[in-house]
Structure 1
């Protein structure tokens, strides 16, 4: 009986491993506050060669995010709005009405692991006032 149970357990484990999907990578932008982190933009998932390809995932994300945001320029125009305006609208849709002097950070995630920092930050600080992208005034 124990042998049968061990054999079934082994077969289930092999089936589970074989049923896992292809390796993948996610890229996203986050805004931080003293109390929370908000994902404000996510690119579509991409395939990578294996779940140990941190550099492959990281560099793919850096390239894609730089292309889509004009090197993390919040005042760059994309689809008739600034990058910052898209972010402010997303935050507003999640009931985050004000952001003041916050940088936007780029992260990547591989195969369901933790989010890891790419080393990219926005060129400017982000300021949002009820969904509107505003110029920041430092104090």
Structure 2
């Protein structure tokens, strides 16, 4: 898989731990930065990652900031993105199986690298259950995007 990644100043250290781990798992990483502790704006990193996912340039995306909350909010403004904020192993599996999440968000100030790597592995390896009830629910989310989409 191709995985697009982005982090702001609050998450770049964790991104730099996760990136080689994903590559070791055999995936390609598209890294949108950032790579320093200078204050930056999380939407500037969330949007290119999400654009790659909705365009098909990347199969999935991973976003990291201090808490993961800002990245999640920005990502979920992009139609077609189902970004899940995850800080535990159960949620990593459930969000793939039940919600078909295509972007994972985490907070560097919330979890350590060991748990983050386990979350990433589970999230990358878990498939959408594709059961009728889950497809129906994801379809309802898509209908909400369509209903509230801004039209020029």
TM-score (norm 2): 0.28
Greater per-residue strand proportion: 1
TM-score (norm 1): 0.30
Greater per-residue helix proportion: 2
